[in-house]
Amino acid sequence: MNKNNSSTVTAKPGLGLNAWMIAGLLFFTVPMFSAFIFSVQVGDGTYTLGAYRRMISDPGFGEALWISARLAILTVAIAIGIMVPTVTWLHIRAQRAKRIVEFITLLPLIIPPVVIALGFLGSMPLWLKDSVYMLVFAYVVLSMPYTFRSIDTGLSAIDVKTLVDAARGLGASWRQVMVSIIGPNIQSAIFGAIFLTVALVLGEFVISNLLLWSTLPVWMALVGMSDAEGAVALSVMSLVFVWLLLMLLSSLNRRRKVRVNVGGLS
């Protein structure tokens, strides 16, 4: 095979790959861009940020955002607080039960949201039915497929059993094992789980709507019925917000890693 041939052979997959990447990029950006244009264009063809101003100044927006933010924080705290010790336990003491638990965590993806919502309504105690925080329990369950997988992957990358045995042998309590050893070593996985959970809470519509709580997505849908540009402006904002949050989490994660590496070289 001569040089020319080999160069064409190597060039082809590169071109194909680029084409795929461009196609993929367009697939994601075109709808977002169209939505943005729709939200800023007025009937006579001029552009204005009026829809954005209108939405932000609406008192319902702040209220819905505040509800969703509180729900997101609580959901993350409970989901991570339950899932990290549970999956760690599965890794060190009950490897065989892991598959069963993995299947259970998948159930929220299989059971229709309507069924989950009605189930919640039926099983919650009365005092909780009155509170928006009942949604937290639903969201913790809904986030299980993502938090379990993320943390499981993180733990699979380290020798959990040996590290736990070593820490226990050195006198660490279970709390110290989790906080000082397991947590820092699966940090990326925990950040991933946090991000997915926040994205889920900020986007969940069916259950909160059925249970009549005006979370951000529910409020957005409500606004969309009377103000199309406003609703799209909100979608764009929430997209940008989630994206910023992702950047923030991943940069926090990277910064900690860099600190570790730099410290190591000194």
- Residue whose tokens read 């006198």: 171
Alpha-carbon span 246 to 150, nearest angstrom: 15
Our finding on whether 251 is near other proteins (CB under 8 A) is no
96 binds other proteins (CB under 8 A): no
Among 69, 106, 158, 210, binds other proteins (CB under 8 A): 158
CA distance 193 to 187: 10
Nearer to other proteins, 49 or 179 (CB): 179
What residue has token string 């638990």?
101
Contact flag: residue 252 with other proteins (CB under 8 A): no
- Residue 224 burial (10 A CB sphere; 0-12, 13-18, 19+): middle
Q: Assess 173 for contact with other proteins (CB under 8 A).
A: yes
156 is an interface residue for other proteins by CB under 8 A: no
For residue 246, state whether it binds other proteins (rule: CB under 8 A).
no
Query: Candidates 29-37, 209-217, 219-227, 255-263 — which segment interacts with other proteins by CB under 8 A?
Result: 255-263
Cα–Cα distance, 91 to 87 (Å, whole number): 6
131 binds other proteins (CB under 8 A): no
User: Which H or E run contains 232?
Assistant: helix 228-265
Separation CA 236–CA 230 (nearest Å): 10
- Candidate list 25, 100, 128, 170; residue touching other proteins; CB under 8 A: 170
CB neighbours (10 Å) of residue 159? 13
| Residue with tokens 């950006």, as numbered in its chain | 29
Radius of gyration of the chain, Cα coordinates, nearest whole angstrom: 23
Q: Which of 74, 172, 210, 242 binds other proteins (CB under 8 A)?
A: 172
Least Cα distance to 142 among 94, 201, 97 occurs for 201
The contact pattern for other proteins, residues 179-208, with x = CB under 8 A and - = no contact, is -xx--xx-----------------------
Contact region with other proteins (CB under 8 A), list: 1-9, 82-90, 178-186, 233-241:
178-186
Find the DSSP H helices in 124-182.
126-129, 134-156, 160-169, 174-176
Quick one: which of 206, 235, 266 has its CA closest to 36?
235
**Sole window of 144-152, 172-180, 210-218, 244-252 interacting with other proteins (rule: CB under 8 A):** 172-180
Q: Which of 56, 77, 163, 206 binds other proteins (CB under 8 A)?
A: 163
Residue 129 or 255: which CB sits closer to other proteins? 255
Q: Identify which of residues 112 and 169 has a Cβ nearer to other proteins in the complex.
A: 169
- Does residue 118 touch other proteins according to CB under 8 A? no
Q: Which residues bind other proteins (CB under 8 A)?
A: 158-159, 162-163, 165-173, 176, 180-181, 184-185, 260-261, 263-266
